[in-house]
Amino acid sequence: MAAIHTQAEIIRSGEALALELGDDPRPWQIFEKLGKQGKFDRVKKIWEQHRAEQNDAPSHSEIVLPDDAEARIDAGLQALRASMQQLIARLIATQQEEWHRNLSLQQRDHQSEMEKLRGEKANLIQLVDELEKTIIELETKLARAEQPKPAAKPKGQPAARKSPNRAPAKTRQAPPPTASAKKGAPASSTTTD
């Protein structure tokens, strides 16, 4: 009579169940997984034999390293540590150099911006001065324009004297009187009779 499940099927089912449970399964759990077909004693015997063979194999914790292996591992770790320290030191130095370079660029840009702003400030001060002068000139012109103008002189009247001490303008005068004219007689009278 042939067996319902092969030895390989039983071991595969047990290992799959061990992965599911996270622990070593009991033979009856494997028998249930196989659908309770076949003989339980056979499943139990195959699984326990498989587990015994696994336990006979040396585990990783039992492997003995050669005597110089530990010294070589320590030397490798020290070399790795030194290499990492050098790498970190170079990285820090590179970061510091980059930081200083960026700081220098920022200072240069700031100085350039300050010079530009100083130039703009000087231009604005000059513009304000020019505007103040223009305002003063316009205020002066406005004040002159608002002063009352002298009244217009009517035509035909002589101009008023500008200075009281000045003699009036010369006009054509009569000839000076002679001695006889001074006594009341006409100066040149010729009578014809």
pLDDT tens sequence across 142-153: 888 887 776 666
The count of other CB atoms within 10 Å of the CB of residue 13 is 21
pLDDT value at residue 193: 45
33 in a domain, yes or no?
yes
**66 lies in a domain?**
no
Q: Is residue 77 part of a domain?
A: no
Q: What is the pTM of this model?
A: 0.32
Give domain status of residue 20, yes or no. yes
Question: What is the tens place of the pLDDT at every residue in 31-64?
Answer: 888 888 888 888 889 888 888 887 766 555 566 6
Structure-token pair, residue 77: 């770790």
Residue range(s) defining the domain that contains residue 25? 7-56
Residue 54 CA to its chain's centroid (Å): 67
- As a whole number, the mean pLDDT across the chain is 80
**Residue 167 in domain:** no
Give domain status of residue 41, yes or no: yes
pLDDT tens for residues 150-180?
666 656 555 555 555 665 555 666 666 665 5
Q: Please check whether residue 160 lies inside any domain of the structure.
A: no
Alpha carbon dihedral 46, 51, 53, 55, in 10-degree steps, equals -170
Which residue, 91, 3, 78, 82, is CA-closest to 39? 3
The answer as to whether 15 is a domain residue is yes
For the chain, the domain total comes to 1
Contacts of 10 (CB under 8 A, 6+ apart): 30, 34, 43, 46, 47
